[in-house]
Structure 1
Amino acid sequence: MDFTLITALIGIVATLSGIILGWSAKAKEAKNEVRKDAELDTALRTDMEYLKRGVDDIRIEQRSQGQRMDAMGERLTRVEESSKQAHKRTCRNSVGKIKAS
């Protein structure tokens, strides 16, 4: 065997091994990139679910607060009516006492 033939074979083997190693590195990098994208997507989905639950909790609390305000409004109306009736009775009693004197 000739020195140039050995050099050529070593060059071909080196080129082929470089291609194979490069190809496998690229495949591994693509796999890692897909994994990272999946992790990021999962994190975003988890955060979105957390935000949705928070918004749902706020809506429930707002609805509850509205119901409490409605109940307080009804109670206030009843108290105002009762106060008005008591005021009328007090006025009638005062007028009756003044006429009796």
Structure 2
Amino acid sequence: MSIELGVLVAIAGLVISYLAYQLTHIKEVKTDSQENAEVKAELGYIRRGVDDIKIDLRANEKQISQMGERITRVEESTKQAHRRIDQLKGGDQ
């Protein structure tokens, strides 16, 4: 009878150990899933931020290009104005 009791205690110990392992495993899976969801959410936030930066960069590049064109026109206009001034100075002398 003591051998049967020992076997029963051993089996109960194995069952309890297995259940404890399963409980721990389930908690780890939940924790890993939660961390994974948080990482995905943060990556989504970063992705949106990068997209916003790209949009702003394109707008800035367009604005710089337009300013370059305007500066070129102003330089040409200034060059013509200097020629006219030089002609007026030459005609007065």
* TM-score after normalising by structure 2: 0.88
Whole-angstrom distance in 2 between the partners of 1:93 and 1:20: 108
Residue number in structure 2 paired with 1:79: 74
Whole-angstrom distance in 1 between the partners of 2:91 and 2:80: 16
* TM-score after normalising by structure 1: 0.82
In the TM superposition, structure 1's runs of 4+ consecutive aligned residues that sit over 2 Å from their partners are 7-10
Deviation track 1:12-36 (CA, whole Å, cap 9, x = no partner) reads 3312221221111111111111112
1:10 aligns with 2:5: yes
CA RMSD of aligned residues (A): 1.3
Q: Secondary structure at the match of 1:36?
A: helix
Which amino acid in the other structure matches residue 17 of structure 2? Answer: G
Residue number in structure 1 paired with 2:84: 89
The unaligned stretches of length 5 or more in structure 1 are none
What's the offset of the Cα at 1:45?
1.0
Q: Give the number of aligned pairs.
A: 93
The one of 16, 21, 27 equivalent to 1:21 is 16
**What percentage of aligned pairs have identical amino acids?**
33
The one of 31, 38, 46 equivalent to 2:33 is 38
Q: Secondary structure at the match of 1:39?
A: helix
